[in-house]
């Protein structure tokens, strides 16, 4: 007897980020202004590279989390704008360094910064944006928020090294992989959400709720991203199907497919991911194996699990438009896989 996983539970293919954007759009305008002003530099290359990334169609989900969380906790100052911008700078710095480390040619459907300005500029402009992020955190004046965000900065980098050092083996367990994405993706979602109640001076259970919401939303977001790489259209994600595969990046769909396959399948995955035999013919076989073993739907099912934890984390908090919008963001992150 098999177990039927209720894939359709809570599914809302119309789920959107729009209600959140609508609620925070005035503050986001201030965040965008601040971002522009803080990428200014007499060194012309800095605003050029930063603008390339910042204009390239990211959803700015992370700063919106900070804004919505702060407002939902009745914060009435202006420092949530400063921290939201610093969160986006941390994210942008990470993208710049990631592209260098992964030797990526494309980012959101555009040439990556390193392809336009070189690896050197990507490393250094990333460092500059990180420095600016910390400057802004100091401006915001909350030592507790600084603690959360500086912790995230170290954890993110640790996660990246973990992935570089240990996770490039097909023997990586699902737990190992989760530890990597918990650090490299979920930690910033978590910090972005948590600094809202911290600024507002909310009680610890409220802080904890937002932290849990953030980390689980981040896990769901990353797992869906992993799934999209083997099934999303180029248009939907702004990256080509199979980018992770071609880069030999071992993600959860690959790990599940490897475990569920036979010896011959496993040899194929080892060749493709560990030895770099990942051309378009191999990608075709990979997609076929994913289909055969239900690896994509299993990955989305995992994402849905973390999404549910994120929803329940916010459950004790009083009803509000912001809460509704944050719950819908969970659905949006999962349903964008269509």
List residues near a second copy by CB under 8 A.
41-46, 97, 100-101, 119-121, 123-125, 127-128, 130-132, 134-135, 137-138, 141, 143, 146-147, 150-158, 160-162, 164-166
| CA–CA dist 222, 182 (Å, integer) | 9
Closest CB to a second copy among 3 and 44?
44
Task: Enumerate residues 6+ apart whose C-beta is below 8 A from 175.
Answer: none
For the chain, the farthest-separated pair of C-alpha atoms sits apart, in whole angstroms, at 67
Closest CB to a second copy among 77 and 131?
131
Minimum gap (Å) between residue 178 Cβ and a second copy: 14
CB atoms within 10 A of CB 16: 17
Closest CB to a second copy among 67 and 155?
155
Closest CB to a second copy among 43 and 116?
43
| CA–CA dist 135, 132 (Å, integer) | 5
Cβ-contact 116, 96 below 8 angstroms: no
Minimum gap (Å) between residue 27 Cβ and a second copy: 23
Tokens of 139: 């401006």
Q: In whole angstroms, what separates CA 305 from the centre of its chain?
A: 17
| CA–CA dist 286, 294 (Å, integer) | 12
Closest CB to a second copy among 29 and 166?
166
| CA–CA dist 258, 262 (Å, integer) | 8
Minimum gap (Å) between residue 252 Cβ and a second copy: 20
Minimum gap (Å) between residue 103 Cβ and a second copy: 9
Query: If we measure between CA atoms, which residue out of 116, 138, 105 comes closest to residue 50?
Result: 116
Task: Enumerate residues 6+ apart whose C-beta is below 8 A from 83.
Answer: 66, 70, 136, 137, 140, 142, 145, 149, 195, 199
| CA–CA dist 103, 226 (Å, integer) | 18
Minimum gap (Å) between residue 34 Cβ and a second copy: 15
Minimum gap (Å) between residue 154 Cβ and a second copy: 3
Minimum gap (Å) between residue 181 Cβ and a second copy: 14
Closest CB to a second copy among 150 and 320?
150
Closest CB to a second copy among 247 and 291?
247
């Amino acid at each position: 007897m098999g177990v039927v996983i209720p894939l359709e539970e809570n599914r809302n293919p119309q789920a959107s980020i729009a209600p959140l954007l609508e609620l925070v759009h005035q503050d986001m305008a201030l965040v965008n202004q601040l971002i522009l002003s803080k990428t200014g530099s007499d060194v012309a290359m800095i605003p050029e590279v930063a603008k390339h990334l910042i204009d390239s169609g990211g959803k700015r989900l992370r700063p919106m989390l900070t804004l919505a969380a702060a407002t939902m906790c009745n914060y009435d100052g202006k420092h949530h704008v400063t921290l939201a911008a610093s969160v986006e700078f941390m994210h942008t710095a990470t993208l710049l360094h990631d592209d260098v480390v992964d030797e990526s040619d494309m980012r959101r459907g555009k040439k990556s910064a390193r392809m336009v300005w070189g690896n050197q500029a990507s490393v250094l402009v990333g460092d500059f944006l990180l420095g600016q992020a910390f400057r802004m955190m100091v401006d915001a004046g909350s030592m507790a928020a600084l603690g959360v965000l500086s912790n995230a900065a170290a954890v993110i980098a640790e996660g990246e090294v973990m992935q570089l050092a240990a996770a490039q083996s097909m023997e990586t367990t699902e737990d190992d992989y989760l530890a990597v994405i918990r650090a490299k993706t979920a930690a910033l979602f978590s910090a972005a959400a948590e600094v809202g109640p911290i600024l507002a001076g909310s009680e610890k259970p409220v802080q904890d709720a937002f932290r849990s919401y953030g980390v689980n939303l981040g896990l769901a977001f990353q797992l869906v991203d992993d799934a999209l790489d083997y099934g999303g259209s180029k248009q939907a994600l702004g990256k080509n199907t199979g980018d992770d595969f071609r880069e030999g990046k071992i993600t959860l769909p690959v790990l599940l497919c490897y475990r569920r396959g036979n010896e011959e399948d496993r040899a194929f995955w080892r060749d493709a991911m560990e030895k770099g035999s990942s051309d378009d013919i191999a990608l075709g076989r990979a997609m076929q194996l994913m289909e055969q073993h239900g690896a994509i739907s299993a990955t989305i099912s995992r994402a849905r699990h973390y999404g549910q934890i994120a929803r329940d984390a916010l459950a004790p908090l009083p009803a509000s438009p912001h809460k509704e919008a944050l719950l819908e963001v969970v659905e949006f992150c999962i349903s964008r896989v269509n």
